[in-house]
Amino acid sequence: MYRVIFIHGGAWGDPDITATNFAAKAVVDLFNSAVAEAIQGGASINYRLSPRRLSQPMPSRGPVGDKQQAMHPDHLNDVISGIQYLQRKFPFGDRYILTGYSCGATLAYQTLIRQSMYKPETHIAPQAIIGVAGLYDLPLLRDIDPMPPMCQQLLLAAFSTDETLWRDVSPATYSDFERLWSSGKLAVMTYCEDDEYVSWAQLDTMHYALKLWGEKKGRLIKTLNLKGGHDEVWRAGSGLASSVEKSINYIQELSSFGV
């Protein structure tokens, strides 16, 4: 059985997207799906947010004041702390599926870098990572994605002006997934067909980065397509749930072959 852990998106700084409203519908769908018996439990992690961008709509709950002051690695540290808390409360080792949406997918893969800095007993990498509408190459996001001025603003808010840092923390630039994720079994990258913010190039560059890792026996790299725009998919919940359901089926297939 597996635990499913969600990491919400929101460009590191949208207070209207929370751990609760992001995953609520997907969790209901999953526990009513064909793979429900394979799911031991679910969780959704919040993290501190970066300053609100000037071009960003006013949050539905009103002004946030100085509450949003996080900058990398604050978001990542919070995600790691959340996973470690869950491990202490419900020990599950590597039997979990980390599911990140948009910048949540960035954070999911960044946990592998952080994992290499912790003792194995304090942080264990997941067997599977699902990236939905993921951001894997941050400079590329600024340079060629559909809304470069907006992307520039959100990267400055979350990662400062150091563009070398943008590159270094981009999962698509990691040079040794074999070392970082030796226990990993499954990488799933899901693309939203009508995504108005994230280009297909993000998926392509991550697929290339994982190519050598995925050639080892007992591992799979899968690409899934979902209909809908960038936010439609998670708001409906069914797209997230479908990605997780298919991923559990993939892992079960690997297990049936004794790997």
Question: Which residues are marked as active site?
Answer: 102
Q: What H or E segment, with its residue span, contains residue 118?
A: none
Confirm if 147 and 210 have CB atoms less than 8 A apart.
no
Q: Return all residues near 97 (Cβ < 8 A) that are at least 6 apart.
A: 2, 3, 4, 5, 126, 127, 128, 129, 130, 244, 247, 248, 251
- Determine the 3-state secondary structure of 6 from DSSP: strand
Count of domains for the chain: 1
Q: Return all residues near 68 (Cβ < 8 A) that are at least 6 apart.
A: 13, 15, 48, 49, 50, 51, 52
Q: What is the CA radius of gyration of the chain?
A: 17
Per DSSP, which regions of the chain are E strands? Answer: 2-7, 39-45, 96-101, 128-132, 186-192, 220-226
pLDDT at 121: 56
pLDDT at 234: 87
Q: What is the chain's length?
A: 259
Taking the alpha carbons at both ends of the chain, their separation in whole angstroms is 16
- Strands 128-132 and 39-45 turn out to be unpaired
What CATH number did the domain enclosing 143 receive? 3.40.50.1820
| Distance (Å, whole) CA 133 – CA 124 | 24
| Distance (Å, whole) CA 62 – CA 81 | 28
pLDDT at 14: 92
Per-residue pLDDT of the chain (259 residues; tens, 9 = 90+): 999 999 999 999 999 999 999 999 999 999 999 999 999 999 999 999 999 765 555 454 544 456 788 999 999 999 999 999 999 999 999 999 999 999 999 999 999 987 655 555 568 999 999 999 999 999 999 998 667 788 899 999 999 999 999 999 999 999 899 999 999 999 999 999 988 889 899 999 999 999 999 999 999 999 999 998 888 888 888 899 999 999 999 999 998 766 6
Q: Return all residues near 104 (Cβ < 8 A) that are at least 6 apart.
A: 6, 7, 8, 9
Name which of 129, 239, 155 is nearest 195 in CA terms: 239
Confirm if 127 and 2 have CB atoms less than 8 A apart.
yes
pLDDT at 183: 92
| Torsion (CA) 115, 117, 119, 124 in degrees, nearest 10 | 0
Per the DSSP assignment, residues forming a β-bridge with 190 are 132, 224
Q: How many CB atoms lie within 10 A of CB 203?
A: 20
Tokens of 166: 């943008």
Domain that holds residue 73: 2-256
